[in-house]
Chain A
Amino acid sequence: MPVTARLAERAGAIGLFGAALFNEPLIAAFNGAVAGIPALFLYVFGVWALLIALLAGLMIRAPAPPPDAVEPRDGEPRDGEPRNGDARSGGG
């Protein structure tokens, strides 16, 4: 599953990046205010937004996974297991 492995690696890298940015010493360096708004506030939410943007870019641009997306609970078609066809009717 190379696609998943690569995704996991990159997501992990983003996580490490974020962990570094959200911790001392970097985070303690932001004091004072910019245009009335505390620099720390701007920094934390800015980094957070950046991480989310990176993640979204990573996940959206990743190659499309195999389409088993349509049916909910398309459980185990692999070895002829019951496909739980009653998952939806079970709601009644």
Chain B
Amino acid sequence: MPAGWALFGVGVLYLMSLFAVAWWGERRAREGRSLLRYPAVYALSIAVYCTSWTFYGSVGRAAETGLGFLPIYLGPTLGFCLGWMAFRKILAVAKAQRITSIADFIAARYGKSQSLGAMVALIAVVGTVPYIALQLKAVTASVEAMTIETGAGLLGDTALGVAAVLAAFAVLFGARHIDATEHHEGVVVAIAFESAIKLVAFLAVGFFVVYGMYDGLADVFTRAAANPGLARLMTFEAARPGWVTLTVLAAAAIFCLPRQFQVTVVGCVDENHLRTATWAFPLYLLAINIFVLPIALAGLMEFPDGFVPPDTFVLALPLSQDATGLALLVFLGGLSASTAMVIMATIALGGMVCNDVVMPSLLRATPERLARMPDVTRLLLRIRRFAMVGVLALGYGYYRLLDGSYALVSIGLVSFAAAAQFAPVLLGAVFWRGGTRRGAMAGLAAGFVVWLYTLFLPSFTRDSGFEMALFGLEILNPYALGGVDLADPITHSLIWSWLANIGFFVGVSLFDRPSMIEKTQATLFVEALRHDEAQDTGYFSGAARYGALKALAERFVGPGPARRAFAAHARGRPLDDDAFADAPAVRMTERLIAGSIGAASARAAIASAVRREGASGQELLNLLDETTQVMEYSRQLEAKSRALEEATAELRAANRRLTELDRMKDEFLSTVSHELRTPLTSIRAFTELMRDEPEMSVIQREEFLDIVIRETERLTRLINQVLDIAKMESGRMQWRIETVDLRDIVRDATASARSLFVAPGATLEVALPDRPAMANVDRDRLYQVVVNLVSNARKFIPDAGGLVRVTLAAGARGVWEVSVADNGPGVAPDQRELVFDRFHQAATEGGNPTGTGLGLAISRMILDHLGGRIWVAETTQGGADFRFSVPAAA
């Protein structure tokens, strides 16, 4: 048996080493080698779930119910599996909205409601107090077990001393800086360290008992089986009462216990660590539980008279074998299990009380004083520390009130049942969009009241044997509401409280009309994994000035972090303090402050700043007016620019046309000058010849003069035609449209052309219809066309046997068609369109082209004007067949 002072020394030494570990963790973090990067540390910190309840209490429960202790650990395993999606969503939301606690989370989801946050915080505190008391009781009991001879007198009040040291630790490491979403690295590292210690200690005592005192597992079980009382513990019969209830309760607790939420959600630095924790944490649970039943059996066999409480078997067994060193290790394991839980719970609850209970009241009660305060962070830290000490004091008080006969597990289950009240609103938060603030409040209140009545209050009076029933009515028996006896008190309480909780939550929500912010938050939470960018709502640009926001942020998170946050937000742009902040800036500030005082309080704080600094109604109206004007103006601009574009397009097209015409004119001019020069050159050549040779014979001279006259005629014709073209193109041509008989025109034209056919042996045939061929045409122009075609044809037929046939006939679709066909060389198919081009000269065999190259071009222009057309028809028996048609007069 170690002396009391030795035990005290070891305990103090251990707690000091805890300080050292925490300090080391913070130093590594400062050096940028944070231990929180490792998923194993995360998984170990979740193992804060295993408290002295696990360490001492499990054996105690196993001694009564066999494997009945296990649901508390199977539950989290199943909970992690089934609630994996919920965990992922909660993690994502918590990160995006800088959630600081479970109260903050629930308040944020249901419309950032301050009252709901306060409610959750209060339930959490009341629910956790028994749990803290349990730890104090366990530590005290372990000290008593260790110093059974010397008694506790030496140490005075063990529980008080432990509470004081833990308070000091929590205050020192758990309230270092104000932003609760920033991780208290030291604490987390210390918690993980303690998880390792308690596992090692428990495994050590397990091995000692099973393999030191007995001959392995089979030996323990075989010997126990000889005793009928113990053999019962190895069957499911013993474990059945509450098996399902406890599994469900534990599965819920892994989400809902404030400290679990703190380490799992708020303390998560990397959402992917969850993957490792999903299997590593259950593995931890399995390891720490595998020896529980053997130890319990061994204890029952070793101390059959019942003087040693089963809750202390883990200590009593090594002590009975005089293994003092091992007993000390076990003592430290138990101490670490207790302290880890108390520290984490205190930090979680302290933050909640500060952010969700005290801050909102301060914001409401003394906004002026708060507004004058330059730096609220110091005040916040102080509040948080007071809250921590207060929570511990409550735990101690409950411990003193509690009657001593309660088993550890029973006390813990009371807390579990309280935390389980959060489960409906927590799961509803991420899966059910329809949950509203009023629904959540009604559900929580109902569940909490039922829990209070059926589990919490009776825990004070159980020892006296007084079954507390209101008004002495059996129907109100706290352990059998409605007179219905449901297995055990825990199951009974859980069923009734969840019934009330879920009923009110769902019922009120369904008939509620959620506000805008509730709807927005609901969407953000339920679709946490779908929306990358959490779009907060409620603020518009111009609601507050940068200066005011900055001042606000500085007061709540301190000047340094605020400056950095705003610098990051500005991204290099200068932020004018007098300028109105844009909506993202307001959101950023709210989230920044939320990290330190919680979502609901942050919203209230921002709202106050926005009210004071915000734009007035008139300003807003002006803004609206201005916007309308700007929109109108921009619409006009748009219309104008569209018109301009159209005009530009037209101009461009016109310009293109002009350029083309210009090019055509140039080309035409150069061709015309060339064509004019040819006859002029020959005229000049022959006249010069005649002048220079006076002895030239008369015959010769006459021949030359004939050439000169012919060339002059050609020149005249050419100039006339060019003038015609110019007139027609410019539209200055005088047209005399009248209804004439086409037969007359053809007859006159062929008659005048007949002179060309007189001397040689060529023939001109004319075929005219019997009835008049009336059409609206310009007689002279059409005459010109026919002459042109006939003289053209004459040029290409041989002198002997040449034949030109002119035919006038009715064509298809009410037109008159004139054909001038010859038996000359014909026109090649690829030339049939080109011949109508200006100055296109069909290559005649040998000799000078006699035409001007303009006749067909002019003919086409004339027919275009008269609404007819001219073309070269296909021929079957050689020769060319030029045809034109004009519409017949009606």
Q: Do A and B come from one complex?
A: yes
A residues with a Cβ closer than 8 A to B are 1, 4-5, 7-8, 11-12, 14-16, 18-19, 22-24, 27-28, 30-31, 33, 35-38, 40-41, 44-45, 48-49, 51-52, 55-56, 59-60, 62, 65, 68-70, 72-76, 78-92
CB distance from B180 to the nearest CB of A (A): 11
Residue pair B584, A79 in contact (C-beta under 8 Å): yes
CA distance A52 to B707 in the complex (A): 120
Per-residue CB proximity of B181-201 to A under 8 Å, as 1/0? Answer: 111011000000000000000
**Chain A residues positioned under 8 Å from B305 (CB to CB):** none
Residue pair A62, B275 in contact (C-beta under 8 Å): yes
Tell me if B30 is interfacial: C-beta within 8 Å of chain A.
yes
Tell me if B10 is interfacial: C-beta within 8 Å of chain A.
no
CB distance from A90 to the nearest CB of B (A): 4
Tell me if B98 is interfacial: C-beta within 8 Å of chain A.
yes
CB distance from A34 to the nearest CB of B (A): 9
CB distance from A5 to the nearest CB of B (A): 8
Of the candidates A24, A59, A72, the one having the most CB atoms from chain B within 10 angstroms of its own CB is: A72
Residue pair B278, A37 in contact (C-beta under 8 Å): no
Tell me if B756 is interfacial: C-beta within 8 Å of chain A.
no
Partner of B276, one of A59, A84, A85, A92: A59
With A37-B218, A48-B286, A76-B96 as contacts: A92 and B30 at CB distance below 8 Å: yes
With A12-B85, A78-B532 as contacts: A86 and B561 at CB distance below 8 Å: yes
Residue pair B236, A55 in contact (C-beta under 8 Å): no
Look across to chain B and name the residue whose beta carbon is closest to the beta carbon of A9.
B85
CB distance from B490 to the nearest CB of A (A): 17
Residue pair A1, B530 in contact (C-beta under 8 Å): yes
Given contacts A40-B234, A40-B235, 4 further A-B contacts (CB under 8 A): A38-B234, A52-B279, A86-B560, A87-B182
Tell me if B36 is interfacial: C-beta within 8 Å of chain A.
yes
Residue pair A12, B82 in contact (C-beta under 8 Å): yes
B contact patch SS: helix
Residue pair B88, A70 in contact (C-beta under 8 Å): no
CA distance A90 to B26 in the complex (A): 10
Residue pair B186, A14 in contact (C-beta under 8 Å): no
CB distance from B815 to the nearest CB of A (A): 74
**Chain A residues positioned under 8 Å from B470 (CB to CB):** none
Partner of A72, one of B30, B79, B270: B270
**Chain A residues positioned under 8 Å from B244 (CB to CB):** 23
Top 7 closest pairs, chain A to chain B, by CB: A15-B81, A36-B218, A82-B565, A8-B85, A72-B269, A15-B82, A55-B279
Residue pair B182, A84 in contact (C-beta under 8 Å): yes
Partner of A83, one of B176, B182, B568, B584: B568
Tell me if B282 is interfacial: C-beta within 8 Å of chain A.
yes
Look across to chain B and name the residue whose beta carbon is closest to the beta carbon of A8.
B85
List 25 A-B residue pairs with CB atoms under 8 Å apart, sorted by A's residue number: A1-B529, A5-B529, A12-B81, A12-B84, A15-B80, A18-B77, A18-B81, A27-B236, A33-B234, A45-B290, A48-B77, A51-B81, A52-B283, A60-B275, A72-B34, A72-B183, A78-B532, A79-B584, A82-B561, A82-B564, A82-B588, A84-B181, A84-B561, A87-B183, A92-B30
Tell me if B222 is interfacial: C-beta within 8 Å of chain A.
yes
Residue pair B282, A48 in contact (C-beta under 8 Å): yes
Per-residue CB proximity of B547-571 to A under 8 Å, as 1/0? Answer: 0000000000000110011101101
CA distance A70 to B39 in the complex (A): 11
Tell me if B37 is interfacial: C-beta within 8 Å of chain A.
yes
Look across to chain A and name the residue whose beta carbon is closest to the beta carbon of B216.
A36
Residue pair B286, A82 in contact (C-beta under 8 Å): no
**Chain B residues positioned under 8 Å from A73 (CB to CB):** 181-183, 269
**Chain A residues positioned under 8 Å from B565 (CB to CB):** 81-82, 84
Look across to chain A and name the residue whose beta carbon is closest to the beta carbon of B272.
A65
Partner of A31, one of B34, B222, B235: B235
Look across to chain B and name the residue whose beta carbon is closest to the beta carbon of A28.
B236
With A11-B81, A92-B26 as contacts: A40 and B98 at CB distance below 8 Å: no
CA distance A70 to B247 in the complex (A): 36
Residue pair B30, A89 in contact (C-beta under 8 Å): yes
Residue pair B236, A81 in contact (C-beta under 8 Å): no
Residue pair B221, A11 in contact (C-beta under 8 Å): no
Tell me if B219 is interfacial: C-beta within 8 Å of chain A.
yes
Residue pair B279, A22 in contact (C-beta under 8 Å): no
**Chain B residues positioned under 8 Å from A16 (CB to CB):** 81-82
**Chain B residues positioned under 8 Å from A5 (CB to CB):** 85, 529
Look across to chain A and name the residue whose beta carbon is closest to the beta carbon of B224.
A38
Residue pair B286, A52 in contact (C-beta under 8 Å): yes
Residue pair A35, B84 in contact (C-beta under 8 Å): no
**Chain A residues positioned under 8 Å from B569 (CB to CB):** 80-82
Residue pair A33, B221 in contact (C-beta under 8 Å): yes
Tell me if B358 is interfacial: C-beta within 8 Å of chain A.
no
CA distance A83 to B29 in the complex (A): 16
Per-residue CB proximity of B235-249 to A under 8 Å, as 1/0? Answer: 110001001100100
Residue pair A8, B84 in contact (C-beta under 8 Å): yes
Tell me if B658 is interfacial: C-beta within 8 Å of chain A.
no
Look across to chain A and name the residue whose beta carbon is closest to the beta carbon of B243.
A23
**Chain A residues positioned under 8 Å from B591 (CB to CB):** 76, 81
Look across to chain A and name the residue whose beta carbon is closest to the beta carbon of B290.
A45
**Chain A residues positioned under 8 Å from B88 (CB to CB):** 4, 8
**Chain A residues positioned under 8 Å from B571 (CB to CB):** 80
Residue pair B78, A19 in contact (C-beta under 8 Å): yes
CA distance A38 to B77 in the complex (A): 23
Tell me if B32 is interfacial: C-beta within 8 Å of chain A.
yes
Partner of B568, one of A59, A68, A80: A80
CB distance from B597 to the nearest CB of A (A): 16
Tell me if B607 is interfacial: C-beta within 8 Å of chain A.
no
**Chain B residues positioned under 8 Å from A33 (CB to CB):** 221-222, 225, 234
**Chain B residues positioned under 8 Å from A55 (CB to CB):** 80-81, 278-279, 282
Per-residue CB proximity of B212-230 to A under 8 Å, as 1/0? Answer: 0000011101100100000
Tell me if B95 is interfacial: C-beta within 8 Å of chain A.
yes
Tell me if B345 is interfacial: C-beta within 8 Å of chain A.
no
CA distance A7 to B709 in the complex (A): 107
CB distance from B526 to the nearest CB of A (A): 14
Partner of B95, one of A49, A56, A75, A92: A75
**Chain B residues positioned under 8 Å from A84 (CB to CB):** 179, 181-182, 561, 565, 595
Look across to chain B and name the residue whose beta carbon is closest to the beta carbon of A79.
B533
